[in-house]
């Protein structure tokens, strides 16, 4: 982050938060669908998951990650890089 502007650091943290929560959302949907298939075969009932609900769940996951990433991103963007590296 040495030489990066405050805005670039903020943007980097928010993109990272969005990426991590996107991956978590997709993994959660995949495991949820797999669990639904297992339960469907064991309990002999039908389940359907509309594509729009998976998309909404993924978008909500990303939104939550970005919203809760704003405070740490602001905090990181305000740090002096030399001071931050001194404590690592």
Residue 38 has pLDDT above 80, yes or no: yes
State how far the Cα of 57 lies from the Cα of 10, in Å rounded to an integer: 25
Greatest Cα pair distance in the chain: 61
Q: Which pLDDT band holds residue 54 (cuts at 50, 70, 90)?
A: very high
Domain spans of the chain, in order of start: 6-82
State the average pLDDT for the chain.
88
* Rg, Å, the chain Cα set: 19
Query: Does residue 79 carry a pLDDT above 90?
Result: no
Q: Is 83 left (phi over 0), alpha (psi -120 to 50) or beta?
A: alpha
So what's the pLDDT on residue 87? Answer: 61
């Amino acid at each position: 982050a040495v030489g990066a502007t405050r805005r670039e650091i903020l943007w980097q943290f928010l993109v990272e938060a969005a990426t991590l929560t996107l991956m978590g959302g997709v993994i959660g949907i995949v495991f949820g669908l797999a669990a639904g298939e297992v339960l469907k075969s064991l309990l002999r009932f039908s389940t359907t998951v509309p594509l729009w609900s998976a998309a909404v769940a993924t978008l909500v996951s990303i939104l939550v990650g970005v919203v809760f990433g704003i405070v740490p991103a602001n905090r990181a963007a305000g740090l002096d890089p030399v001071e931050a590296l001194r404590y690592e």
